Amino acid sequence: MDFLILIAGIAGLWLGTELTVGGALAIARRHQLSEFFVGLVILSIGSDLPELAVAVDAGIKGLMGNDTSGVVVGTSIGSVVAQIGFVLGLAGMISFLTLPRVVVVKHGAVLLAATALLFLLAFDGVVTRTEGLVLVTTYVIYVVALMNGENVPDEEPGHLAGGDWRSWILLLAGLGTVIISSEVTVTSAVNIAHAFDVSEALISVLIIGLGTSLPELSISISSILKKKTQMSVGNIIGSNVLDTLLPIGLAATISHVTFERNLLFFDLPFIFILTAMVLGFFYTRRGVTRKEAMFILGFYAIYVAVKLMQF
- The distance of Cα 197 from the centroid of its chain, to the nearest Å, equals 27
Mean pLDDT in residue range 146-171: 60
Q: Measure the CA–CA gap between 42 and 39, rounded to whole angstroms.
A: 6
Please tell me the predicted confidence (pLDDT) of residue 231.
65
* DSSP annotation of 288: B
The pTM of this model reads 0.82
Round the average pLDDT of the chain to a whole number and report it.
Answer: 83
pLDDT over 90 (residue 89): yes
β partners of residue 258: 126
* Structural domains present in the chain: 48-153+198-308 (1.20.1420.30)
Q: CA-based angle 143:147:148, to the nearest 5? A: 115
Q: Measure the CA–CA gap between 259 and 107, rounded to whole angstroms.
A: 26
pLDDT tens for 181-225 read: 877 887 888 788 778 888 888 888 888 888 778 777 777 776 677
